[in-house]
Each structure stands twice: as structure tokens, then as C-alpha cells.
Amino acid sequence: MRIRKFRKEDAAAASRIVKNGFQINNAPYYGKASIKEQVEANSPKNLIEKAKKVKYFVAAEKSTILGIGGYDWQKVHTLFVDPNWQRKGIGMKIMARILSEAKKDGIKHLDAWSTFQAEKFYSDAGFKKIKKFTLECRHSTIDFILMRKQV
């Protein structure tokens, strides 16, 4: 398994992982409307569009995509691991790549909008909890935990 830069051809598989992550891992915490909107926001087309501003990486085993995650100057974006492959260190490997690349870019600190399911993961990665907040989306609202780490 290696962590490499996201390519357009990864979008369909990465989008499926985000969908499964929301529907499987986050179903206990969020309503159906919030999950639906987040899944749509991470369609293959939208991921390709977002990748113009966000530096995304994927975890890949040969041609199979197992996880995705990225960052911009402000925050970590879309860190998801295929539910069948979680708790094997893949998320932390994507995070390590994000942090090392952000450091090379001269970024001093990164925020994360953590789902409730991912709070322990981010705290293990050295992020400190700042506050819970509610994001107003077009058709729904969704609660996240704002977390921050010095890079």
C-alpha cells in the first residue's frame, strides 16, 4: 500500500469511500438529510473540482483505492478510509503525508472539522479540540468538532 497524489481517475472510487464512510461510520451521529447532502458534495465530479484547490492524496493498493485525504492552507479535507480497511493504520499514513506536505508548504497550523466518529483519531494525530460547531449547508445542517494542530 502506498500514499500517492490523487488523480482524476481515482474520483469514482474515492467518492464511493466517502459515501460508505458517511453512511456506515457516521449514520449513528447524523440525520439522513445531512448525510445525503455530504455524499452529494463529494460526488466524483465535485471531488475533481475540489482537487483544484485541495491537495488530495489516496492510499492505493495496486489499482484499488483504500482511502483519501487532503489539505489546503487552512484545513484537512475529506479524510476517509474504506470501512472494510479501517483500524489498520491507513488513516494515520494519509495524515502523516498531509502533515509532512503541509510543513513543506510552510503551513504553521491545520484545522480539522472532525466528525464525532473521528474525534479520537484526530486527537491521536495530535489535534486539540477547540469547539463543537454547526455548519449550515444548502439543505441541511451538520455538526462537527473544530480541532487544530501545529504543523
Ligand X SMILES: CC(C)(COP(=O)(O)OP(=O)(O)OC[C@H]1O[C@@H](n2cnc3c(N)ncnc32)[C@H](O)[C@@H]1OP(=O)(O)O)[C@@H](O)C(=O)NCCC(=O)NCCS
- Positions 50 through 109 that interact with ligand X (CB under 6 A): 79-81, 86-92
Stretch of residues binding ligand X (CB under 6 A), selected from 20-28, 35-43, 100-108, 127-135 = 20-28
Identity of the amino acid at 146: L
**Cell 457516521 appears where?**
26
Q: Is 26 in the site for ligand X (CB under 6 A)?
A: yes
Does position 121 interact with ligand X (CB under 6 A)? The reply is yes
Tell me the CB-side half-sphere exposure of residue 49, using CA atoms within 13 A: 6
Interface segment toward ligand X; rule CB under 6 A; list 31-39, 40-48, 100-108, 112-120:
112-120
Q: Note every long-range contact of 117-120, with CB atoms under 8 Å and residues 24 or more positions apart, other chains counting.
A: 117/25, 117/26, 117/28, 117/29, 118/79, 119/145, 119/147
12, 19, 25, 111: which one binds ligand X (CB under 6 A): 25
- 124 sits near ligand X (criterion: CB under 6 A): yes
CB of 130 to ligand X, least distance (A): 14
